[in-house]
Structure 1
Amino acid sequence: MPPLSRALFLKQCIAYGTLIGLAPYATIAASAPDDFYKRIVAANGKEVRKLVEALKPEITAVRRRLGFDMANLAAAYCEPTSSYYQKNELVPYLEKIVRALLKSQHEDGTLDLGNLASPPDTAFIMEPLCAGATILNANSSGALTEVKTLLKQFIVKAGEAMRTGGVHTPNHRWVVSGALAKINALYPNPGYVKRINEWLSEGIYCDREGNYLERSMIYSEVIDRSLITMASLLKRPELLEPVRRNLNLVYYQTEPNGELVTNASRRQDQYQTINLLNHHYFQDYTFMAIHDKNPEFAAIAEFIKTMPDFDELVLKDLLPYYLEEPVFKQAPPVPKSPPVIFEKFIRETSLVRIRRNDTTTTLFGGTDFPLLIASGRANSPNFFAFRKGAAILNYLRLSTDFFSTGYFHSEGITKVGNRYVLQRTIEAPYYQPLTAQFKKADGNYKHSPSTDGRFWNKMDFEHRPKSNISKLTVTVGVEETNGANTLAFNVTGIAGVHVTLELCFREGGRLTGVKKLDDGTDNYALESGTGEYKAGNDSITFGPGTFEQPKLTGLEGELYATHFGTLRTPGMHVYLTGLTPFQHTIKIG
């Protein structure tokens, strides 16, 4: 990443809650490690105080969080600067957690966590449990003997589940392998390493721009963490190469407030709002900053510290990591700001990210075709998003009622000069009688999808002649200039098709220049002129409007409507409408 103004990045950190004032990064880096470690220990103590009360009743349900509970108790007991150091009052709670885990463990070593008797879900809890075991094993206190014995019993039995069990998703292979690396570090077994090598031999897919197979901001972090674990414990530094590429990509998909762009995801986060506090991005950036002496990764880690809820979501669980992993005992390099002005075309996923300080534009055209509603496929209709400080346009969508095909999904993005173009042409045929060679006397034809993918039936569609074919072409041209966007819409083909533009703004703002619709929802129309959305001291203007023969229902299309599904999200929804042939240009800025 080319460097930009360090002062600007500092200013941004301050805007999102940092307490470091105007001190230069050199000063922060020199003084922060000891002070930050004190914060970690204090946060752990606060969490343990809560645990002592929460764990008094019987543990009736095993959940992943119990792994972190055990690790936090172990860290508090073994950290010399903790107020709980060598306090034997914690030992019964440690034993209680481990006994509850043993009671819930199946004969094959697995737990029921989300999925039943699941090796990969069991692997997720092994990460904090093994951290706790590593910390406890380094402590010679006789009071811990029973806990260590029970914990080893659980971990070794779970290790067999990891060594022999299967997986569901791409990231599970690396979660299981990371868990086995941790178990092997505690209780060495060649079988663990053999299984890791078996998974690794399949190859770790990470494209040239840093996307793993699932293209998910949730599971990218899971994979990064697993690869870091294996690289560190198995002395395989080559496993860090995809981590570098992915963390670099994650930065370019990070909004100024730390939220992550997930349009391209093939998993559940494509419809979720998540941020850098989710999972362990702070640990990943910190580890790689220290390991690679990467000052930009160090700056990103510093920024994560400034985010609201950092203490509650991240800091409280950090002590076990810092006690387990030797790298964290080293000081990170002096931070250097990553770029906050850039235009990044991520071609592998047809995602465009444009940032001008606190103003960002996102374009997405990377739908997986044929369009199917399933985990493991990218199908978000959110092809445009825009932010200006606190003013956030969550997304812009386009829908037509062309044979109930619903929302527009672009077949990629092309760049022509300074303009990005999203486009798709859809054909909707009618079907003629089957020719003689394909006819069946009993009428029992192949159950198959229609050739346009809208529905299924036992009609043997692929062998039927087609006629009366209607076409619709949607083209969206987007040109960004100094933080403002001009969007030109052109919908051509069969005439008289309803076209609906849907702008969804973040809840809590104020809209002006629009008409509130009397339909019992937070819906508005931009009939003409320019609308404005304000949040805090920031605002987004958009328009001009048009509202000809509006159709605001059934926007999802038949794939969703058949199952009474909806893609509507919370927010303030503004609509512009028209009929084909539809040509309209709006500016958003």
Structure 2
Amino acid sequence: MFSLDAAQKALIAQCDSLVALQQPDGSLHRADWGLDDPGGTCSLVALCLYTGRHVDAAERALDYLEAYQRASGLTDLRDCNFDSSPDAGFILQALCPAILAVRHERTEAFLRRMVAGALTGGFHTPNHRWVMSAGLALAERCFPDLSEQIRPVIESYLAEGYDLNADGAWIERSAGVYDAICAKSLLILAECGYQRDVSLETVRRNLELNLQLFHADGTIETGLSRRQDHGTRAVPSSLIVPFLWAGTLLKEPRFLQAAAYLQIKAPADGYSLTQFLRQYGEPEALTPALPESYAAHFPVLEAHRIRRGSLSATVFGGTTRLLHVVYGQAELVSVKVSQSYFGVGRFVGDRIWEDDGAVTLRSEGKLSPYRPGYELPLGRPVPVESYTAMRAERELRRVPYCTSELVVTESDEGLTLRYVTLDGMDRVPAQLALDFAPGGVWETDDTAFQPQAGQVVFLKRGAGRMRYGRDIIEVSPGACAHQMWAMRDSEPAPGLVRVLLTYLTPLDQSVALKMTRI
């Protein structure tokens, strides 16, 4: 499963593939930028030095890097950050292990200049603090003579405390990208003697959360993320080495089993894995496994997770996306509820709670201070330029808020959704929108077709099934109280296939989501 020989072969292949992409000026280019990439070029140097291959390519890369390096010692992330100390943290994490393995005077001089810039450079996002601290901790190992300059800076960052909440999530909540970056950084800090116990415990708590975010195929729930991975579906291979590393240091077999499971789905980066295996050796035979039967409530994240074998579901508070369901190949990307009501009819889970297995989302319907209702005349002049500013002076004729609840419960065959209106007016158009990933086949008792992204389908009665290969999510019963294809105040889903159930208020309606495999 985790063979040093296999990891080293993957590393060599990775190194050779980067060298093949090297430009005449020594740089690597980012195809999505159409520009040279200092960070990627540093990775090329690291792999060449660490493997002892293509030394001439490393020297050409250093020609480019020395010419590109700014007077501060820093480089740029060319689509975003210039004179970037956070990116110095990533570069130090990449290059320092190579220098610790094989001393290289020219690269060391490049890094010494970079360290000088990183010490006073500052950061942008929360994770940068730990990336920079870990990079500087590795630099301290490379250059012990700089310890008196480096150590106070690391300690000043660590004095802020790790930004992990009570549910085990970082501020950025990025299970697909930044959780792995933070875990790796804290593991480096622990091994370099910085807050070892606190760092390891923080990593443990975050990885415990991640264990409860995986779908059965090894992809991870990113609907909670505040970063660029939000809403994506991918196997987070960057978590493999953190799971291995933390599992080894903490003697936690579930982390090791998770690493083995992910390694089958999407192998780890050869450079990181080789470093780990050279330091700790090959782990004993592991049984690949992820937790597959649980329900977990996360009050701080305003979320609830359910895994039952192939079924994986997430209930979200604080957003219009209320539910995400994965069943094998089938994916219900989103469930959204709306009323066409004064521009404030979108259901947002203002509160979420769990009671005896039932998860309740409550929407108060208070998205605007002026709605629902009507504004009354002031009885005095309202200059055009003052109309908006004077709005707060108007009295309102209030009508009831469209307060409602959505209750999600498990059933023997899947999930049940119960939508109940608690306040508001009668005869208001409402809808339950089920947004499926494209690529499925929609079937009812008397029709079957393959809907395209952006298409809207009304389920007027009975049951409808969205089938992906052998995996089916069945919806029932249908309802068609109105035929508004794009109901006012509802959110569109242009990249998905929308199945609509439509109603008129008041409502107490249950909908079954049945998971089957043929």
TM exceeds 0.5?
yes
Q: 2:131 aligns with which of 168, 175, 180?
A: 175
Contact residue 486 and residue 492 of structure 2 kept, 8 A: no
Residue of 501, 506, 513 corresponding to 1:581:
506
Structure 1 distance, partners of 2:168, 2:359, is 22
Q: 1:528 — aligned with what?
A: 461
Contact 2:453 2:497 (8 Å CA) reproduced: no
The answer on 1:480 being equivalent to 2:410 is yes
Amino acid at match of 2:8: V
Q: Could you say if the C-alpha distance between residues 384 and 555 of structure 1 is closer, same or farther in structure 2, counting changes exceeding 3 Å?
A: farther
Contact 2:315–2:324 under 8 Å retained in 1 = yes
1:100 aligns with 2:64: yes
Matches within 5 A, 1:197-208: 197-208=155-166
1:1-150 alignment runs, 5 A limit: 32-33=1-2, 36-55=3-22, 57-58=24-25, 59=27, 61-77=36-52, 84=53, 90-113=54-77, 114-137=80-103, 148-150=104-106
Correspondence for 1:226? 185
Distance 1:354 1:467, change over 3 A: same
C-alpha displacement of 1:124: 2.2
Work out the CA distance in 2 between the residues paired with 1:150 and 1:230.
26
Could you tell me which amino acid in structure 1 is paired with residue 255 of structure 2? F
2:436 to 481, 505, 509: 505
Q: Is the contact made by 2:352 and 2:361 (CA closer than 8 Å) also made in structure 1?
A: yes
Report the CA distance between 1:443 and its aligned residue.
8.2
Contact 2:440 2:451 (C-alpha < 8 Å) held by counterparts: no
1:254 aligns with 2:254: no
* Secondary structure, aligned partner of 2:99: helix
2:299–2:353 contact (8 Å) kept in structure 1: no
Q: After superposition, what is the alpha-carbon deviation per residue over 1:377-436, rounded to whole angstroms, capped at 9, x for unaligned?
A: xxx42211222222221221112332223642101212233321111112414344679x
Q: Which AA in structure 2 matches 1:322?
A: F
Structure 2 counterpart of 1:326: 279
Q: How many residues in Structure 1 have an aligned counterpart in Structure 2?
A: 492
CA distance in 1 between counterparts of 2:450 and 2:438 reads 17
TM-score (norm 2): 0.87
Q: Could you give the per-residue CA deviations for residues 308-358 of structure 1, whole angstroms, max 9, x where no partner exists? A: xx24xx3444455337x723x353585585532111112221211111111
Runs of 5+ unmatched residues, structure 2? 28-34
Query: Where do residues 337-486 of structure 1 align in structure 2 (5 Å cutoff)?
Result: 337=289, 339-365=291-317, 367=318, 380-405=319-344, 407-427=346-366, 428=371, 429-432=373-376, 457-459=388-390, 461=392, 464-486=394-416
Q: After alignment, is 500-509 or 531-540 more displaced?
A: 500-509
Code of the aligned partner of 1:424: S
What residue identity is the alignment partner of 1:219?
A: Y
Structure 2 residue matching 1:524: 3-state secondary structure: strand
Q: Could you say what the CA RMSD is over the residues aligned between the two structures, in angstroms?
A: 2.9
Q: Is the 8 A contact 2:431 2:502 kept in 1?
A: yes
Equivalence for 2:119:
163
Instruction: Give the conservation status (yes or no) of the 8 Å contact 1:381–1:408.
Output: yes
Q: CA deviation at 1:573?
A: 2.1
Find the aligned partners of 2:449 and 2:430 in 1 and give their Cα distance.
20
Q: TM-score, normalization: structure 1? A: 0.77
Q: CA deviation at 1:555?
A: 6.5
Partner of residue 425, structure 2: 494
Q: Distance in 1 between matches of 2:361 and 2:39?
A: 42
Q: 1:550 to 1:195 in 2, by over 3 A?
A: farther
- Aligned to 1:403, the other structure's residue is in SS state coil
The one-letter code matched in structure 1 to 2:97 is A
Gap change, CA 1:518 and 1:357, over 3 Å in 2: closer
Q: Distance in 1 between matches of 2:385 and 2:498?
A: 46
Instruction: Give the AA of the match of 2:486.
Output: T
The question of whether the paired residues in 2 share the 8 Å contact of 1:517 and 1:525 is answered with no
1:464 Cα deviation (Å)?
Answer: 4.5
Letter in 2 for 1:418: G
What is the SS of the residue equivalent to 2:36? coil
Q: CA deviation at 1:204?
A: 1.0
1:244-283: CA deviations, max 9, x gaps? 0000100101111111112222333333334322xx2011
Deviation at 1:108, TM superposition (A): 1.4
Q: 1:342 to 1:319 in 2, by over 3 A?
A: closer
- Which of 147, 153, 162 aligns to 1:195? It is 153
Q: Which has the higher helix share?
A: 1
- Inter-CA distance 135–498: structure 2 relative to 1 (3 Å threshold): farther
Give the distance between the partners of 1:240 and 1:399, measured in 2 at CA.
Answer: 44
Q: Deviations over 1:157-213 (max 9, x none)?
A: 211222101212111111111111111111132221111111111111222321112
Structure 1 residue 541 displacement after superposition: 1.0
